[in-house]
Structure 1
Amino acid sequence: MRVGLLFGSFNPIHIGHLILANYMAANTNLDTVWLVVSPQNPFKPSNSLLHEFDRLHMVRLAIEDNPDLGVTDTEFRMPKPSYTIDTLAYLKEKYPTYQFSLIMGEDNLLTFHKWKNHEQILADHNLLVYPRKSSAQPIPANLQEHPRITLVPAPLLDISATFIRQCLKEGKSTRYLLPESVETYIKSKKLYHS
């Protein structure tokens, strides 16, 4: 089983995440894409994060009708902040016959050298890299030509969870930005409201 891992806070999950995950599942050699809900990103402050179980529930709601997508709460049981190398080691131990690939934006590839044990990640796993409008600098040739790195021309949607949270806080419409089930859940629990 070839599994693509799309890590994120999903605070909240939105259509940009879903389009990317589905595109990767349907247009690469992956058998499935798992969305890895991260309790805390080591590069982001945690004070703006909704509770991890709410974020996990919203991802489940968002993908429930798509058999090509899955979700994992693996990092919930790991020390925080969680590091990708540790999550990969855990998943390899739990699913020894699976091949795990990382799905990341090109902005993350440009800072990949700052990740904990990045050389080991690249030695053991493929990286599927999608374009990001926010990337100001081109990907260096040594990374573009690396045998473990594949640049995937996934559709680019400039939608951010930060923008969606601001809309919700201000009482503005988030129709078509969020899956309907997620929008209903957020409204019913009054999440992200001021």
Structure 2
Amino acid sequence: MSAPLLEGNDNSSPHFTAPPNYTFPHHRLNLLQRYPEKQPIVLVACGSFSPVTYLHLRMFEMALDYVRQNTDFEVMGGYTSPVSDQYKKPGLLSAHHRVNMCTIATEQTSQWLMVDPWEAFQSYQRTAVVLDHFDHEINTVLGGAQLPSSDERRHIRVVLLAGSDLISTMSEPGVWSETDLDHILGKYGTLIVERAGSDMDMDTATEALARWRHNIFLMPQLIQNDVSSTKVRLFIRRGLSVRYLLPAPVIDYIEEHSLYADDASNYDKKG
């Protein structure tokens, strides 16, 4: 596995460029609030998604349940944001295929999830900048959420959705810059899904991020699921079935394009 990329080594103001022919997807984004007493939010998951699995999709459903039962938020939409090829992770499949697989998965298995290709088809973008991009598109360009029976508009908060390994890296000195941590956790916040079988001490990890604790929401997995893209790739290379680990149309796409198979030298076995 490659060494962690230092987040936030460029503290300049975000300059939003866009890939050719890019349009921000919002066909499933709900801009009309049902519950005006709640704060509208949008969930954003960043990652490789190589390939997207049922656990990636399940994370959004877990977050939806958690938000409904434990917070004063109202979820208006959810997005996957596949990382750029310039992330330089060993074995990273091309953004073209990763975006296509995420699109197939969300469009054919969900009624509210979307894929934003903005991050994928350009140079590497820091997580803080990616979240700023969503905030700009949703609130500045689209105008945020409209209150019911009113012309009043309300700011939609962008919230980062991730696995517990994110908190692990954020609590490790030198991986993320203090500036970006404050920007991500202070301005946006994060919903963290515990990883099945993880021996990470969540209390220790969050203690290191204590100043942002009010914006860190920890969600237990009520049904343990340890499916990962790394394991899926390994299964494919070994000729094992991956049915019911990821959506069937994604498996069909992988088979149609002969992805991951018979090329162990080019794919990172450790993920």
Task: Determine if the TM-score, normalized by the shorter chain, exceeds 0.5.
Answer: yes
CA distance in 1, matches of 2:192, 2:236: 30
Q: Output the amino acid matched with 1:18.
A: L
- Structure 2 CA distance for partners of 1:184 and 1:77, relative to 1, 3 Å: closer
CA distance in 2, matches of 1:41, 1:123: 27
- Structure 2 CA distance for partners of 1:135 and 1:74, relative to 1, 3 Å: farther
Task: State the superposition RMSD in angstroms.
Answer: 2.1
Answer whether contact 1:25 1:68 (CA < 8 A) is retained: no
Identical pairs, percent: 25
Counterpart among 148, 154, 176 of residue 115 in structure 1: 176
Q: Which residue of 2 aligns with 1:16?
A: 55
CA distance in 2, matches of 1:190, 1:79: 26
Q: Output the amino acid matched with 2:118.
A: T
The runs of at least 4 aligned residues of structure 1 exceeding 4 Å deviation read: none
Q: Which residue of 2 aligns with 1:139?
A: 203
Compute the displacement of 1:41 (Å): 8.0
Counterpart among 208, 211, 215 of residue 148 in structure 1: 215
- Structure 2 CA distance for partners of 1:95 and 1:191, relative to 1, 3 Å: same
What SS does structure 1 have at the residue aligned with 2:119? helix
Task: Tell me whether 147-156 or 161-170 shows the greater mean CA deviation.
Answer: 147-156
Q: Deviation per CA, 1:114-166: give whole Å up to 9, x if none.
A: 32411121221121111123342232364478211111223431111111111
Aligned counterparts, 1:1-194, within 5 A: 1-28=40-67, 29=73, 30-40=75-85, 45-65=88-108, 66-80=110-124, 82-96=125-139, 97=144, 98-113=156-171, 114-116=175-177, 117-132=180-195, 133-140=197-204, 142=207, 143=209, 146-154=213-221, 155-194=223-262
**TM-score in terms of structure 1 length:** 0.88
CA distance in 2, matches of 1:128, 1:121: 12
Compute the displacement of 1:27 (Å): 3.8
CA distance in 1, matches of 2:120, 2:82: 8
- Structure 2 CA distance for partners of 1:109 and 1:20, relative to 1, 3 Å: same
Answer whether contact 1:24 1:33 (CA < 8 A) is retained: no
Answer whether contact 1:10 1:37 (CA < 8 A) is retained: yes
Compute the displacement of 1:186 (Å): 0.6
Q: Output the amino acid matched with 2:200.
A: A
CA distance in 2, matches of 1:164, 1:191: 11
Larger Rg: 2
Compute the displacement of 1:78 (Å): 4.3
Answer whether contact 1:105 1:129 (CA < 8 A) is retained: yes
Answer whether contact 2:84 2:122 (CA < 8 A) is retained: no
Q: Structure 2: where are the runs of 5+ without partners?
A: 1-39, 68-72, 145-155, 263-271
Compute the displacement of 1:60 (Å): 0.9
CA distance in 1, matches of 2:107, 2:228: 22
